[in-house]
């Protein structure tokens, strides 16, 4: 399927949508795409492709340097926290 055919198919589909909330969401997706936004943080701030790439590279370096917590360490810490909470009760 070529680009022009895909665009025409999408336009046809959009013309059949009667829910304004769906159309508004599509508008936001297009605006994000044009702005280079690929996602959002938990607090709602946007993340661009370049920023994501830099953060991913930094995370890879931290892992390569051994700066991470294993699942086993995380489970042990959780157990300690739960045990401490039980002792307080």
Burial class (CB in 10 A: 0-12, 13-18, 19+), 47: middle
Residues 6 or more apart whose CB falls under 8 angstroms from that of 26 comprise 14
The per-residue pLDDT for 87 is 87
List of long-range contacts for 17-22, beta carbons under 8 Å, 24+ apart: none
Q: pTM of this prediction?
A: 0.57
Both tokens assigned to 79: 């157990």
Q: Say what the alpha-carbon torsion angle 77, 83, 85, 87 is, to the nearest 10 degrees.
A: -150
- For the chain, the domains span 1-35, 38-89
Residue bearing tokens 């045990």: 83
pLDDT in tens, the chain (89 residues): 799 999 999 999 999 999 999 999 999 999 999 999 999 999 999 999 999 999 999 999 999 999 999 999 999 999 999 999 988 88
């Amino acid at each position: 399927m070529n680009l022009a055919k895909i665009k025409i198919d999408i336009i046809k589909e959009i013309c059949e949508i009667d829910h304004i909330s769906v159309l508004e969401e599509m508008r936001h997706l297009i605006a994000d795409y044009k702005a280079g936004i690929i996602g959002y943080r938990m607090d709602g701030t946007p993340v661009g492709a370049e920023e994501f790439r830099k953060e991913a590279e930094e995370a890879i370096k931290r892992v390569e340097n051994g700066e991470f917590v294993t699942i086993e360490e995380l489970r042990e810490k959780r157990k300690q926290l739960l045990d401490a909470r039980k002792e307080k009760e």
